[in-house]
Amino acid sequence: MHHNIKKILYTAEDISARVRELGAMITRDYQGKTPVLVGILNGAVTFMNDLMRAIDLPLCHDLMALSSYGDQTVSSGTATILKDATLDIEGREVLIVEDIVDTGITLQRVLTHLGSRRPATLRVCALLDKPARRRMAIKPDYHGFTIPDVFVVGYGLDYAEAYRELPYIGILKVNG
């Protein structure tokens, strides 16, 4: 375990098993369709790569980048689009892939933005759901784990661009 991690919440094995379960659910729910997965950079990349391999369907993918944290452990309260998705999603089944739903501010911005492009459906798959901090009335359609109000890193999640490479999800030490 990394010295700046207080506690491991989910091991690599826990995550892998849950991603397979999510992939099976998505495969069932999108049977006969070709969903477009839109991953939110940078945190969702690791999760989205594993999730795509766990979905037994043809699919397309795209990426968006937003900023709401900077180098802080709490959201700034605003979400700015830094990189937009480029695929035409009108009339298509779209699944937003997010690392964590915290306040919901970033996700609300993505839902509004992509919703204006008139997809057939617009759903959310988040690895982590942290409802204790929710400021927007948003609930992911699929989620891997519900976590308490702690700051987590690993498996793509970062603090100031560090810790993304950790194979597990752990609680960051406050003074870390």
Which domains are present in the chain? 13-147 (3.40.50.2020)
Query: Lowest mean pLDDT: which of 67-76, 110-119, 123-132?
Result: 67-76
pLDDT at 74 over 80: no
What's the per-residue H, E or C state across 62-115?
A: EEEEEECCCCCCCCCCCCEEEECCCCCCCCCEEEEEEEEECCCHHHHHHHHHHH
- The C-alpha atoms of residue 120 and residue 99 are separated, in whole angstroms, by 23
The whole-number pLDDT of residue 176 equals 45
At residue 4, the 3 state secondary structure works out as: coil
What average pLDDT does the structure give for the chain?
A: 93
- Contact by Cβ (8 Å): 153, 162: yes
Helix residue spans in 104-174 (DSSP H): 105-115
Task: Report, as residue numbers or ranges, the catalytic residues.
Answer: 102
Q: Which residues contact 36 (CB under 8 A, 6 or more apart)?
A: 59, 60, 61, 62, 87, 89, 92, 93, 94, 95, 119
**Interval 118-170: pLDDT, tens:** 999 999 999 999 999 999 999 999 999 999 999 999 999 999 999 999 999 99
